[in-house]
Amino acid sequence: MTENTQNTTGQNTTATRLAGKVAIVTGGGQGVGRGISLGLAESGASVLLVGRTMRKLESVAEEIRAAGGTAECLAGDIVEDGSPELIISTAVERLGGVDILVNNANMAMPLPLSDYPDDDFRKAFEGGPRVTLSLMKLARPEMAKRGGGTIINLATSAAVRWDASNYGVYAAIKEGVRALTRAAAYEWAADGIRALNVAPHAHSPGLDWWMDKNPEEAAEFVASIPAGRVGDPVADIGRPVAWLCSAEASYLSGATIPLDGGQSRWG
């Protein structure tokens, strides 16, 4: 992994709900990850952006800095040996600790079950439950030192929708992560750590590309959302996540929060 250690100095001029907090966001360079990163920074958190492409990470970091926030970037493959340790140590060394961990990165492809290569399934599991748990375990003592923290893991409505064709593996990987979240909410509560799942629908480069290429299917997709639109990554995902990470949500843990305009039905 390569890191950019540029820091923004001066007072944060955005909201102060998360002032003094340090957040890690994997997959922070685009789409939902970008939205969450901006939402957290807008509420006062310093953010370590983690992802594959430094150019994308730096673009988001510049948005944060332009608004008066603090951001660091760390580029590389999260499944590489030593990457989880490097991510946590970078947050501690460059930003002072870990208060919030957002596991957003995903490696599962949309394919029918019968066509899914075994090697790709193993890679999806590595990039999903295994790395997520590694980061959670490494973040736990750092959060405990600071009196607690919040873990946000990303779930998917594909796990509860009837039309989940091609998303079986993706849903299975995310459901594994969801189970880890519920366990952490119980096992680590004594450390002041909360764990939540968020299931978002929002604009991203991948979704926007698909909608442009498949306008009729895209229209049906949007029509299935009671809100009548696809979510905005910052306003509809990032800002709610920032609230979930704040003291105002201190009694909320172990739950799955759908941020999808009412499209899915979680039991």
Beta strands 22-26; 100-103: pairing state: parallel
**170 in catalytic set:** yes
- Whether residue 105 contacts residue 126, with contact meaning beta carbons closer than 8 Å, is answered with no
Please enumerate in sequence order all residues whose Cβ is within 8 A of that of 137, keeping only pairs 6 or more positions apart, or say none: none
Rounded to whole angstroms, the Cα distance separating 16 from 231 reads: 24
- Catalytic entry in 116, 167, 170, 251: 170
Nearest to 136 by CA among 26, 39, 51: 26
Enter the tokens of residue 258.
């759908």
Q: Three-class SS of residue 11?
A: coil
Please count the other Cβ atoms lying within 10 Å of the Cβ belonging to residue 125.
Answer: 18
Please give the order of strands across the beta sheet that includes 22-26.
2-4, 71-75, 46-51, 22-26, 100-103, 149-154, 193-200, 256-259
Rounded to whole angstroms, the Cα distance separating 127 from 173 reads: 9
- Active-site residues, by number, are 170
